[in-house]
């Protein structure tokens, strides 16, 4: 199907919405994007763009800019959080089979990069414009904005995040479940040189991850704690750094150094959402967190959204009509995203082993694997990182 006659409306200006808008507009589609916030941007936070996400950025023509904005990771280091001892190091540098880098990026930088690509591709972008009604059935979909304006499109992309209105239309409301975990997120300055790699400090009932951003000028910190008290979802809720310090009191000096530099911190509750059973209804399709919210234990939320964008473009270009394209897209995406979400859930349990003997045995096994076959252990997640949405067969 040629996309030069396809009219597309994207509801949502996050990573998934921007990437989908850029991918389709670059292929010739007429795309309009509506974002309910007054600006397209993100507050300070870090994310990891693994090679599967970098492959999509390259296809969008953004590889060089992404490298300049990000820090190229050389490995992932796992530590015992109580002693600080390095348990193992996973090499994640480029291999001959995969030319795409593992990048540590500021979320705001990635959003700005995608926003630039959207503008360059001729997408009509409007902020302070909330989509409040979608009628996806019929020859064309109908979309209504909060100000009363109505418009039509051949395709509507629901990229409206974890509290997705679009998802409620596709498969009804599904209540998320609190995982019993909360997470703090902070950016710190002046901590000293941080190696170009994520460091994970594991311990009983909690863990901390840190990695550098923007050439090492900033360090991103995410810390997770198991607790019974329910905390709202969404990471815009401020918290007192003292709460973070109390949660990790008694941990190693490296963790204490990170906490000492935290001036502002945000807290959010981690909720488990099922991957959407249905991804499309009529001319409406879901991408990003609207389809597959995930826990932050495999660093794949942004990467899955980037994959969605490019595979939706490929499915549309390969199909005879929109309905066939959306069916193929859903068949491709659901099994992979379900597997990634499940793997992230599994990691959350591995990081938080409470029993001292069990933790000692598990860390010993990791250390032995790291000494004897580090690359073999790293390849455990090749199915995640070596996936190339620009080349994978469409089935």
Residue of 34, 165, 211, 351 marked active site: 211
Separate counts of helices (H) and strands (E) for the chain: 12, 20
Helices in 121-197 by DSSP H: which ranges?
Answer: 165-171
**Residue 285 CA, distance from chain mean position:** 18
| C-alpha distances in Å from residue 181, one per residue of 205, 234, 272, 289 | 9, 13, 10, 19
d(CA 94, CA 344): 23
Lookup result for tokens 């995640």: 384
Percent helix, strand and coil across the chain, each to the nearest 5: 35, 25, 35
Best CA proximity match to 216, nearest among 110, 93, 79, 104: 104
What lies within 8 Å, CB to CB, of 184 at 6+ separation is 221, 222, 223, 224, 225, 239, 243, 244, 247, 265, 266, 267
**Residue reference for tokens 């996400």:** 53
Greatest CA separation for the chain: 64
The 141-145 sheet, strands edge to edge: 131-135, 141-145, 150-153
In the block, residue with structure tokens 């938080």:
352
Residues with Cβ within 8 Å of 268's Cβ and at least 6 positions away in sequence, in order, are: 182, 183, 185, 231, 232, 233, 234, 235, 236, 237
Separation between Cα atoms, residue 33 and residue 18, nearest integer Å: 8
Active site residue 211: yes
CA Rg value for the chain: 21
Q: What are the catalytic residues?
A: 211
């Amino acid at each position: 199907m040629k996309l030069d006659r396809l009219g597309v409306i994207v509801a949502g200006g996050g990573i998934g919405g921007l990437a989908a808008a850029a991918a389709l507009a670059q292929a010739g589609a007429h795309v309009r994007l509506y974002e309910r916030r007054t600006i397209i941007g993100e507050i300070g936070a870090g994310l990891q763009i693994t090679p599967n996400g970098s492959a999509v950025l390259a296809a969008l023509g953004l590889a060089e800019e992404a490298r300049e904005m990000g820090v190229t990771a050389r490995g992932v280091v796992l530590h015992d959080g109580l002693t600080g001892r390095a348990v193992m190091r996973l090499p994640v540098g480029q291999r001959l089979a995969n030319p795409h880098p593992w990048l540590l990026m500021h979320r705001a930088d990635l959003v700005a990069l995608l926003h630039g690509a959207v503008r360059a591709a001729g997408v009509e972008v409007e902020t302070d414009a909330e989509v409040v009604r979608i009628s996806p059935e019929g020859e064309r979909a109908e979309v209504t904005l909060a100000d009363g304006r109505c418009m039509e499109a051949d395709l509507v992309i629901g990229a409206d995040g974890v509290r997705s209105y679009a998802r409620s239309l596709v498969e009804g409301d599904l209540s998320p479940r609190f995982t019993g975990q909360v997470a703090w997120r902070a950016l710190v300055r002046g901590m000293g040189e941080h190696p170009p790699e994520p460091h994970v400090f594991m311990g009983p009932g909690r863990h901390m991850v840190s990695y550098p951003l923007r050439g090492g000028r900033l360090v991103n910190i995410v810390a997770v704690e198991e607790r019974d008290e329910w905390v709202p979802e969404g990471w815009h809720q401020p918290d007192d750094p003292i709460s973070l310090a109390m949660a990790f009191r008694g941990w190693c000096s490296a963790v204490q150094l990170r906490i000492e530099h935290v001036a502002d911190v945000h807290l959010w509750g981690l909720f488990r959402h099922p991957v959407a059973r249905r991804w499309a209804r009529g001319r409406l399709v879901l991408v990003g967190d609207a389809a597959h919210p995930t826990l932050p234990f495999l660093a794949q939320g942004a990467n899955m959204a980037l994959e969605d964008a490019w595979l939706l473009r490929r499915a549309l270009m390969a199909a005879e009509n929109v309905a066939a394209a959306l069916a193929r897209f859903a068949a491709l995406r659901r099994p992979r995203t379900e597997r990634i979400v499940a793997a992230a859930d599994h990691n959350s349990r591995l990081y938080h082993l409470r029993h001292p003997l069990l933790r000692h045995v598990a860390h010993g096994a990791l250390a032995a694997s790291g000494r004897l076959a580090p690359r073999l252990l790293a390849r455990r997640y090749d199915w995640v990182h070596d996936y190339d949405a620009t080349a994978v067969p469409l089935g």
